[in-house]
Structure 1
């Protein structure tokens, strides 16, 4: 399993995870090229589209690309929230292409009808646009992003709906010899359809829809309103814990070197040998990285394998019915209960190829690829197609 969470990260201040190269991606071939081409295609319906590329160099420096593709390394400012000294907007217009050097924890932002405002904190650390702070100058703008890491082993890029649904984006990666990899992403107009379905659910689900300028701006993941969902999943999780007091739960690491782990609930803990898990709260399930799903530094390989599969099964509400995770998972049975991650259900229902991260461990799979990732050790051109937000 190639994990978005484990692969995308060199920028600890803003996108904190640890870069781990998937074993399946390692080859005996030469290292990746020095750069890859980033091509931007504008199908948004707006003649005013800008892109921004930002990440962290292999030696730890903050880097952005200028409009001509040259790298810009900001100096540390004297005060917090200092406006970025250079305009790093890449005009997309009818199309654009720049060369991208090695960088990790990277993002490609796109925005229509305006430019984004970026700021620096001492470090320097980039202050990214906020979709949670109404006072952020970018809050009312129509923007979204894709993620990538490009190192000596491979380019890994993905479409992510882990935070929100905004501007539809598609990815296509051409390579020098390993074929073309494509993730279609959400079709144009999906934001309105997703927002409508969330609103129709009632309860706290309509609160995930952000509006502005007479239309929908974004549909947020429930992770960002976890406090409003309180004990939403408590009843389901209680049933899971009761079942596995008397039934074995088998979790396949999907790693031949680790094999499977068998657990049962004992003393209120779901115990797999030396690893045990307290009942998670709804917020822990939505985030996949808090409470019993936190993976501290120095955690065992067993815990690193079990956490994603438990978190995925709880988001998909299949853990009660399937005691063999994720081997016997049937995608047709994901999100079927009245109580489930309806955000993920609705997003996946709109994806033409069912591929895109709707929660952090959405790459857990019995076989089919549900992730929104493309990757290769011989990247040539990564094309990002920007679609229309509204139908």
Structure 2
């Protein structure tokens, strides 16, 4: 596994004012929080500031150049990384510690609240590169696609959205709100007469979108089914194997030797509270992602075996229409739309929009969606000096908001580590965060 990796940042938009920031935890420098400098090769380590909300001492914005341009940077091993993409520039701040205050989509007073930005997440360590397109917090207006080229000659691609993907999602959520009377439309954030971003329903309370009681009718039906003789089968995809589950006379769902109380809607949306709180039991921690995903996708009434096939996902109301529609507007149907979106049956097709390999050669992030297509490489991926027009290699030239934990940074309230690779890498990153 290399100690460093090239990242190609391709401007596939109509704007010449697109910038990237790369943040994370420097594995080989003692787990210090860092950003990649604007020169695309050196790390900037924030120092302890004199006061809360101090600006960074260095501008770490990496310009993507004009439309069609590709800028190549080089990163060392980084855990909990984010590649932030923004139309214009972002404001990162420092609190004493030092603690890096990253842009927040939940704080209306955040200096980035009205800025069009998104991010993908990654970890590069001794084992592999892992990366994904993240919609666990929000869907940005600016589309992001990713492609991983491997030394073996293989490549992996996640398409992302077309340029009008956010507008499609907004219109679908408005239609869903009219259909079921739930506040899906309130998740849409507007600025200057256009849709700017859409929040995950997990964060609905931040914008007055109250989903209290939403999943309860489904939860009651599930409890009735599995208290009346039906038996669910949870494939832990780990040592415990397949475990059977029924609701006992005390009203608890017992899967194997683990008991689960009845969740509420907040538990289902967030995946990390109530019966979905992880702990010291490896068996329980293996059950939780599969069980939480089944509730989220509303599959527990249509099949008794979980994880189930994607054809069973989101079959009826109530269900997570944010997640359902996010998958619909992404050109290949992939993207992290809730905390355990990487749960899938053995041999099943990935739903989460991740790429990972132990032999990465080039990681391409394509911004703007103009040439986005399922199955393709998004038009990016060549290294500096190979003749690609306008390609420019660079090298010469805890803060508020997030409380989730994937392979990436600090997190956003209510989200949580994943059931598969994402969770394992989150644990790796956690060894360095204090």
TM norm. shorter chain > 0.5? yes
Q: Which residue of 1 aligns with 2:158?
A: 183
Counterpart Cα distance in 1 of 2:23 and 2:316:
40
Q: Which residue of 1 aligns with 2:404?
A: none
Uncovered stretches (5+) of structure 1, i.e. residues with no partner: 1-31
Counterpart Cα distance in 2 of 1:252 and 1:186:
32
Q: Which residue of 2 aligns with 1:268?
A: 251
- Aligned to 1:138, which of 104, 112, 118? 112
- Aligned to 1:228, which of 210, 213, 218? 210
Please say if 1:254 is aligned against 2:225.
no
- For 1:323-380, what per-residue CA distance to the aligned partner results, in whole angstroms no more than 9, with x for missing partners? 1111xx2322311213110011111112222221111111111212112111111111
Q: Which residue of 2 aligns with 1:312?
A: 293
Helix, strand or coil: the match of 1:100?
Answer: strand
TM-score normalised according to structure 1 size? 0.87
**Equivalent pair of 1:54/1:63 in contact (CA under 8 Å):** yes
Quote how far apart the aligned CAs of 1:388 are: 5.2
Counterpart Cα distance in 2 of 1:270 and 1:293:
12
Counterpart Cα distance in 2 of 1:145 and 1:153:
23
Please say if 1:46 is aligned against 2:25.
no
- For 1:255-280, what per-residue CA distance to the aligned partner results, in whole angstroms no more than 9, with x for missing partners? 2x221111111212111243111111
Matches within 5 A, 1:354-373: 354-366=333-345, 367-373=348-354
- Aligned to 2:271, which of 288, 292, 296? 288
- For 1:47-103, what per-residue CA distance to the aligned partner results, in whole angstroms no more than 9, with x for missing partners? 100000000112220110011121111112232221111100001112211101011
Quote how far apart the aligned CAs of 1:178 are: 5.3
Helix, strand or coil: the match of 1:110?
Answer: strand
Helix, strand or coil: the match of 2:210?
Answer: helix
**Equivalent pair of 2:22/2:84 in contact (CA under 8 Å):** yes
Counterpart Cα distance in 1 of 2:291 and 2:72:
41
Counterpart Cα distance in 1 of 2:120 and 2:331:
18
**Equivalent pair of 1:56/1:62 in contact (CA under 8 Å):** yes
Helix, strand or coil: the match of 1:193?
Answer: helix
Quote how far apart the aligned CAs of 1:158 are: 0.5
- Aligned to 2:281, which of 268, 293, 300? 300
Helix, strand or coil: the match of 1:336?
Answer: coil
- For 1:179-222, what per-residue CA distance to the aligned partner results, in whole angstroms no more than 9, with x for missing partners? 11111112221000001111122221111100001100111110
Quote how far apart the aligned CAs of 1:242 are: 1.1
Q: How many residues align?
A: 353
Please say if 1:242 is aligned against 2:224.
yes
Change (3 A) 1:237 1:301: same
Counterpart Cα distance in 1 of 2:260 and 2:48:
42
Please say if 1:199 is aligned against 2:174.
yes
Helix, strand or coil: the match of 1:229?
Answer: coil
Counterpart Cα distance in 2 of 1:124 and 1:60:
13
Quote how far apart the aligned CAs of 1:300 are: 1.4
Quote how far apart the aligned CAs of 1:284 are: 1.1
**Equivalent pair of 1:175/1:376 in contact (CA under 8 Å):** yes
**Equivalent pair of 2:278/2:285 in contact (CA under 8 Å):** yes
Counterpart Cα distance in 2 of 1:47 and 1:347:
27
Helix, strand or coil: the match of 1:285?
Answer: helix
**Equivalent pair of 1:40/1:96 in contact (CA under 8 Å):** yes
| Runs of 4+ with >4 A deviation | none
Uncovered stretches (5+) of structure 2, i.e. residues with no partner: 371-434
Helix, strand or coil: the match of 1:44?
Answer: coil
Counterpart Cα distance in 2 of 1:268 and 1:80:
49
Helix, strand or coil: the match of 1:194?
Answer: helix
**Equivalent pair of 1:178/1:376 in contact (CA under 8 Å):** no
Q: Which residue of 1 aligns with 2:373?
A: none
Q: Which residue of 1 aligns with 2:34?
A: 63
Q: Which residue of 1 aligns with 2:122?
A: 148
Q: Which residue of 2 aligns with 1:82?
A: 54
- Aligned to 2:358, which of 368, 377, 382? 377
Quote how far apart the aligned CAs of 1:105 are: 0.7
Please say if 1:345 is aligned against 2:324.
yes
TM-score normalised according to structure 2 size? 0.79
Q: Which residue of 2 aligns with 1:164?
A: 138
